[in-house]
């Protein structure tokens, strides 16, 4: 891109990190892929252990939510654990205390996450680029300390134990992870559909404009900060939805859900999948959750060594991510040249001149 060690370009993050479209939503092939994805999602618990399938779905939605913010507004939040975990606690408490059915509990959690995201967003969007990442991280840590201290409500280091999965008295769903997955999947899919709608709405277009050239967007009369706060809140809501379902599917909420390592994990999943591709997060979630599950079940006690190494390799060599790379390959094969996409996407012209 620009000169070496350019720091002034902080707001152009998105432009540097991401492309626009991705190859979904393009007529027939798009629908074909959506159909394929749905079939795979439906078949998933037949091939992997159902609780792991549920984890994949939740992390996938979480990553899609983060990509909505990172890929389309160019803002890297390193504090999304606050929304995922905050919602997990609220959903868990709602299920324990009021016996709410899990979709409603998760929805309540999502609403809480959005309410939390509003002030955090208003403060954080005052800075962009690397500052935004640090500020969101610090605010998330603030929630971590609150949750840790407020033992009476949150159980402190023990977390919330025994979170019931109520589902209108349908026992199969309440007791068996296999059926729970199918009850929760529509909510996850709806969340992803919502993210897709946002990206392909006029709002989403303006968002991309504020990412690529905030000064011009401002000159055109768009209130850049307001757009950023809005997308931050929407992203937090989706993250909360995922976190709420995750908590109830596990039957407990641990302090881990609000820890910064969780924020880092979702960033890893998103980057691995491909920033600015929206659906890349799904691929990233499949890889990371299966990898962690494999490492955990094989008794390896240094998961961070592997995930950390994966992170380093992806950032060094594979910045377009799984989805971005696939998208490039497919685009090339069918002879389509996404001229616009090319010019602002990360993979081209961005490689260090080796």
Residues contributing to the site for other proteins (CB under 8 A) = 1, 3-10, 12-13, 16-17, 76, 123-124, 126-127, 129-131, 133-135, 137-139, 141-142, 145-146, 149, 260-261, 264, 267-268, 271, 301-305, 307-312, 315-316, 319, 350, 352
- C-alpha 163/C-alpha 159 separation (Å) is 10
Is 221 exposed, middle or buried (CB count within 10 Å of its CB: 0-12, 13-18, 19+)? exposed
Min CB(262)–other proteins separation in Å: 12
Closest to other proteins by CB, 141 vs 277, is: 141
Closest to other proteins by CB, 68 vs 177, is: 68
Distances (CA, A) of 197 to 21, 25, 138, 190, 234: 13, 10, 30, 10, 12
Q: For helices 177-199 and 202-212, give the axis angle rounded to 10 degrees.
A: 70
Contact call for residues 224 and 214 (beta carbons, < 8 A): yes
Closest to other proteins by CB, 248 vs 255, is: 255
Min CB(62)–other proteins separation in Å: 17
Q: How many CB atoms are closer than 10 A to CB 159?
A: 19
Min CB(276)–other proteins separation in Å: 13
Closest to other proteins by CB, 290 vs 306, is: 306
Closest to other proteins by CB, 142 vs 340, is: 142
Closest to other proteins by CB, 7 vs 27, is: 7
Min CB(107)–other proteins separation in Å: 28
Min CB(47)–other proteins separation in Å: 28
Min CB(297)–other proteins separation in Å: 17
Is 295 exposed, middle or buried (CB count within 10 Å of its CB: 0-12, 13-18, 19+)? middle
Closest to other proteins by CB, 54 vs 346, is: 346
And the tokens for 246?
Answer: 């995750």
Min CB(26)–other proteins separation in Å: 27
Q: Phi and psi at residue 78, in whole multiples of 5°?
A: -105, 25
133's CB contacts (< 8 A; 6+ apart) are 76, 77, 78
């Amino acid at each position: 891109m620009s000169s070496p060690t350019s720091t002034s370009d902080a707001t152009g993050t998105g432009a540097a990190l991401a492309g626009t479209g991705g190859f979904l939503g393009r007529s027939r092939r798009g629908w074909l892929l959506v159909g394929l994805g749905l079939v795979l999602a439906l078949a998933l618990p037949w091939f992997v252990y159902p609780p792991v399938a549920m984890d994949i779905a939740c992390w996938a939605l979480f990553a899609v939510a983060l990509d909505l913010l990172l890929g389309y507004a160019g803002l890297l939040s390193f504090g999304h654990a606050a929304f995922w975990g905050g919602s997990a606690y609220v959903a868990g408490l709602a299920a324990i205390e009021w016996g709410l059915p899990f979709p409603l509990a998760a929805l309540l959690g999502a609403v809480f996450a959005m309410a939390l995201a509003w002030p955090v967003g208003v403060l954080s969007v005052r800075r962009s680029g690397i500052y935004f990442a640090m500020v969101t991280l610090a605010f998330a840590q603030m929630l971590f300390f609150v949750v840790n201290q407020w033992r009476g409500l949150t159980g402190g280091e023990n977390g919330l134990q025994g979170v019931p999965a109520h589902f209108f008295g349908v026992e199969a769903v309440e007791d068996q992870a296999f059926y729970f997955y199918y009850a929760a999947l529509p909510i996850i899919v709806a969340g992803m559909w919502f993210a897709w709608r946002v990206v392909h709405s006029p709002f989403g277009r303006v968002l991309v404009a504020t990412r690529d050239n905030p000064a011009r967007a401002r000159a055109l009369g768009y209130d850049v900060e307001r757009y950023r706060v809005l997308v931050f809140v929407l992203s937090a809501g989706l993250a909360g939805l995922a976190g709420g379902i995750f908590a109830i599917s596990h039957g407990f909420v641990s302090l881990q859900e609000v820890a910064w390592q969780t924020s880092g994990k979702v960033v890893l999943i998103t980057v691995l999948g491909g920033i600015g591709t929206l659906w890349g997060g799904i691929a990233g979630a499949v890889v990371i959750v299966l990898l962690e599950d494999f490492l955990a079940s094989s008794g390896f006690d240094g998961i961070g060594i592997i995930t950390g190494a994966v992170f380093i390799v992806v950032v060094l060599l594979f910045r377009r991510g799984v989805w971005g790379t696939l998208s490039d390959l497919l685009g090339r094969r069918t002879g389509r040249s996404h001229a616009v996409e090319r010019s602002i996407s990360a993979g081209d012209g961005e490689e260090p001149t080796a």
